[in-house]
Amino acid sequence: MTNRSVDLRSDTVTQPTPGMRAAMQAAPLGDDVFAGDPSVNALQEKIAAMLGFEAALFVPTGTQSNLCAVLSHCQRGDEYIVGQMAHAYRWEGGGAAVFGSVQPQPLNHQADGSLSLTDIEAAIKPDDAHFARSRLLALENTLGGKLLPLAYVQAATALVKASGLNRHLDGARLFNAAVAQAAQTGSDARTEARRIAQCFDSVSVCFSKGLGAPIGSALCGSKAFIARAHRIRKMAGGGMRQAGGLAAAASYALDHHIDRLADDHALASRLADGLAGIEGLQVEAPQTNILFVDLTGAAKSQSAALLKHLGDHGVQATGLYRLRFVTHLDVDAAGADHAVAVIRQFFNS
């Protein structure tokens, strides 16, 4: 076995490519708090136009983007409907409740990652002084690497709209969803990204995940919505000054790194195929760039030893009994094959 190393912990671990670094270096800069950074302005216009919104706001993280979104849609004492496993509920420190007094109404996911329409409908509260005001549905796509079916997204967002709720998409990996959806429809990823985004009143997109930029997300919505989000971003300390270099990296990613997400999806499948049939491993077929592998039966007790073996052989992943492998810009076929070989060696010995 080679002494190669491969980092499959997350698609956030990528290094900017030489082309991206050159774009960052060349970016014209200004003070974005005075709305005077041409590179930030250009990025905001580009992503808004791409997804079909009036305006966009560049923010340092996806967490801040979701926070600005929920607090712009909701007032104190309002409620947002969200999945139990959604990043905006589970992995963001409860920020909407802490900073906005906005109460989450979490729902369990179905096997395909969706929230059932029946559950959503039942969670919308009547206008009654006993209840928090149902104000927003927040979906996530992809969720744990799963593509929500477009027909479902259309039905869920139409359902809540009819009850007067707003719709927010945590599209940290919107372009992974779009590339996977394009493979199904035969259309192109940009068209599919827009088709998904247009079901929502606001969409958050991460540049720092599969798109391979070092930092940044964008929140898209109407002009009035983005004006409110801008105020929240200021309160959250997210007003950045000469941020154009970071915006230029994100802009470069939109130009060069969308279609190549298909390579990451193919590598996740390659990993899954390589691990198929190992006794003690249950491999979930990946839909995009995230692969989950459960340890079953006796293999469960070997979890710590397996993780040590992986670490000793340069393979980084997360999880304990449910391992997560994420493919990205800095993983190639040789890296994926190395991970497979290391895992196979463990179970053969």
Ligand X SMILES: *Cc1c(COP(=O)(O)O)cnc(C)c1O
Footprint on this chain of ligand X (rule: CB under 6 A): 61-63, 66, 87, 140, 170, 172, 206, 208-209, 217
- Beta-carbon contacts of 343 under 8 Å, excluding residues fewer than 6 positions away, are 275, 278, 281, 306, 310, 315
* DSSP codes joined into one string, 169-223: EEETTHHHHHHHHHHHHSS-HHHHHHHHHTTSSEEEEESSSTT--SS-EEEEE-H
CB of 116 to ligand X, least distance (A): 20
CB closer to ligand X, 66 vs 72: 66
Task: Compare residues 63 and 105 and give the one whose CB is closer to ligand X.
Answer: 63
Q: How many CB atoms lie within 10 A of CB 30?
A: 17
Tell the smallest beta-carbon distance from residue 177 to ligand X (Å). 11
Q: How far is the CB of 82 from ligand X (least distance, A)?
A: 11
Describe the strand order of the beta sheet including 290-295 as a list of residue ranges: 281-283, 290-295, 322-326
Helix (H) or strand (E) holding 48: helix 38-51
Closer residue to ligand X (CB): 153 or 206: 206
Q: Closest CB to ligand X among 68 and 271? A: 68
Burial of 15 (0-12, 13-18, 19+ CB in 10 A): exposed
Cβ proximity to ligand X, 140 vs 192, nearer residue:
140
Give residue number: closest CB to ligand X. Answer: 62
Q: Give the bridge partners for 170, in sequence order.
A: 140, 204
| Smallest distance from ligand X to CB 71, Å | 15
Q: 325 or 346, CB closer to ligand X? A: 325
* C-alpha–C-alpha distance, residues 127 and 341, integer Å: 58
For 202, residues 6+ apart whose C-beta sits below 8 A from its C-beta are 53, 69, 72, 73, 166, 167, 168, 169, 219, 220, 221, 225
Q: Are 50 and 193 in contact (CB under 8 A)?
A: yes
- Nearer to ligand X by Cβ, of 261 and 342: the residue is 261
Contact 256, 249 (CB under 8 A): no
